[in-house]
Amino acid sequence: MFGISFSELLLVGLVALLVLGPERLPGAARTAGLWIGRLKRSFNAIKQEVEREIGADEIRRQLHNEHILSLEEEAKKIFNPQPTPVEPVATVAPTVEAHSIVPPTPVAAPEPVVHAVPVEPAPVVHASPTPVTPSAHDSSLPPRAP
């Protein structure tokens, strides 16, 4: 975990035995073990809480994305309406007896009325084929003010 080898642990144990002595070393090892266990449990609890939060965030993100997708679908339906196919309506033709049929009479269309309005000829305007505009680097132009 921390890159500590067995020889390094043995060296720490020998130093602890010399400093604490053989009487107090078992109690110190037990206390150290209890503290290490508490630290591990605390770290695991924190890790699980973070994983739960990340999972909850992921669920919230998925719900938010689904909500956005549904809003996009609604917007597409509003802005790009698809024409609904119209079903043909079945109609029943009324029954007509033979003696009631009258042939249509032809009606002549009215003739359009044309009014003669004198039209004056438009004046002829001669324009040059391409307008001449001076270039920005023309030396005949005065210098521009800054």
DSSP letter for each residue of 9-74: HHHHHHHHHHHHHHHHHHHHHHHHHHHHHHHHHHHHHHHHHHHHHHHHHHHHHHHHHHHHHHHHHH
Rg (CA), the chain: 50
In this structure, are residues 79 and 71 in contact, taking their beta carbons and an 8 Å threshold? no
Which pLDDT tens digit goes with each residue over 17-62? 889 888 998 999 899 999 999 999 999 999 989 888 888 778 888 8
Q: Which pTM was predicted?
A: 0.35
- pLDDT for res 39: 96
Which pLDDT tens digit goes with each residue over 75-132? 888 888 766 666 665 665 555 555 555 566 666 666 666 666 666 666 666 555 555 5
DSSP class of residue 107 equals: -
